[in-house]
Structure 1
């Protein structure tokens, strides 16, 4: 049985030309702190093999409150403050409901 309160999501961060490494570095810099946040079950950055320059985040949170706290927290807001500099398009987030 799955916990229906858990929030799973995939986030896509598409780097501007010549900003891929800066984006990767910025994401990796916050990973340790985010993984310590209350309610963080998984916070896993990936680099897309099909879409160069795209960082794909796979995340799981205990509940919506934990995700909301993460979105308002220092680590994510510091990263988000650099989105205009680093991203070629707006952050895209897909939330998921786990089936099994």
Structure 2
């Protein structure tokens, strides 16, 4: 069985683009959760620093994440991300050491 692949990221939007970026990132949640390799996909806003967004993603494999990132809407967003961000995403790639029992298949959202 392939080990799940996860990441956590932080987005610090330009002050004038906070709401626009929030709505755009929220629009990615449900379609992404429907992708076959997606195990978890969560979007958060920092309680102590509103307007700072964090996301957590877990994928069945690196290949599933790569397929997600290659989708046209994700490519388009990646190319224009700096229109929204003060600084580029801070992304940390993680090896999941404690997967849920059901993390080997879709539907473990």
TM-score range (shorter-chain normalised) is 0.7 to 0.9
**Residues 23-42 of structure 1: matches in 2 within 5 Å?**
23-42=21-40
**Residues 17-96 of structure 1: matches in 2 within 5 Å?**
17-96=15-94
How many pairs align? Answer: 98
Structure with greater Cα Rg? 2
Structure 1 unaligned regions, length at least 5: none
Distance in 1 separating the partners of 2:76 and 2:10: 17
Distance in 2 separating the partners of 1:54 and 1:80: 18
Structure 2 unaligned regions, length at least 5: 99-109
Quote how far apart the aligned CAs of 1:4 are: 5.5
Deviation string 1:49-82 (CA, Å, 9 cap, x unpaired) is 2333211011000001000011111232233233
Distance in 2 separating the partners of 1:4 and 1:50: 36
The worse-fitting range, judged by mean Cα deviation, of 57-66 and 32-41 is: 32-41
Runs of 4+ in 1 over 4 A off after TM superposition: none
Deviation string 1:17-76 (CA, Å, 9 cap, x unpaired) is 121111100101121111111200111000012333211011000001000011111232
SS in 1 for 2:88: coil
